[in-house]
Amino acid sequence: MSTSNNIDGMNAFQRALKRLGDIVGALFLLILSSPLFIVFIIVYKLTGSGPAFYTQERIGLHGRPFQIYKFRTMIVNAESEDVPMLEQQDDVRLLKYGKLMRSHHIDELPQLLNVLKGDMSFVGYRPERRYFIDRIMEQNKDYELLFVSRPGVTSLATIRNGYTDTMEKMLRRLDYDLDYLRHRSLLLDWKIIFETIVNI
């Protein structure tokens, strides 16, 4: 894929500082939240909801695939026909506590492991599946410009655009993501993190 660093608002030094902050922050939060991980694993076990963790292939830095980690919020084999589906309002596939976990982004806590590994950053575009990326790029080829950076646990689009459940929202999210990438800075990242915490 042909991408250009010209769109990136950060220079190499800022990107290095951002990565260092990601590592330190992820380590601290993983230690802090480890009791929650234990509680959730026990809850899933006791309720017979299946495995606590859920992995799914997403596309990230340089257009490379990686496995994203989440607490599972849907029934096992929610996409049994291997056809990617977006969550719908009052989705019958959600576990009884799944909607609550998603609305407060609790299900994304395991993505701290992705941040630590270098798959993701705390702030960036939300990583998507190849199936949906291909459909977005049918309408806007600029999606591939995002691949110069790591995807994020949170994003400007998450705050401004809400949960993405339609193609229209996906295209609007892309506009927010490209705008963030062009103007991103360490200060902007802190503002987005603060707004995310307030919203949660």
Higher pLDDT, residue 166 or 68: 68
pLDDT band of residue 88 (cuts 50, 70, 90) is: low
Q: Where does the pLDDT of residue 2 fall: very low under 50, low under 70, confident under 90, or very high at 90 and above? A: very low
Nearest to 82 by CA among 63, 64, 60, 56: 56
Look up the domain containing 72 and give its range: 5-199
What DSSP designation does 128 have?
B
Partnered with residue 66 across adjacent β-strands are 58
Q: What is the pTM of this model?
A: 0.85
Whole-number pLDDT of residue 164: 78
Contact by Cβ (8 Å): 69, 111: yes
pLDDT tens, position by position, 153-189 = 999 998 888 777 789 999 999 999 999 999 999 999 9
The reported pLDDT for the residue numbered 85 is 58
Tens of pLDDT, residues 95-143: 777 677 777 778 899 999 999 999 999 999 999 999 999 999 999 999 9
Considering Cα of 62, then 64, then 70, then 72, what sign does the dihedral take? positive
Buried b (16+ CB within 10 A) or exposed e, 80-108: eeeeeeebeeebebbbebbeebbeebbbb
How many domains are there within the chain? 1
| Mean pLDDT in residue range 44-68 | 90
Hey, is 99 helix, strand or coil? helix
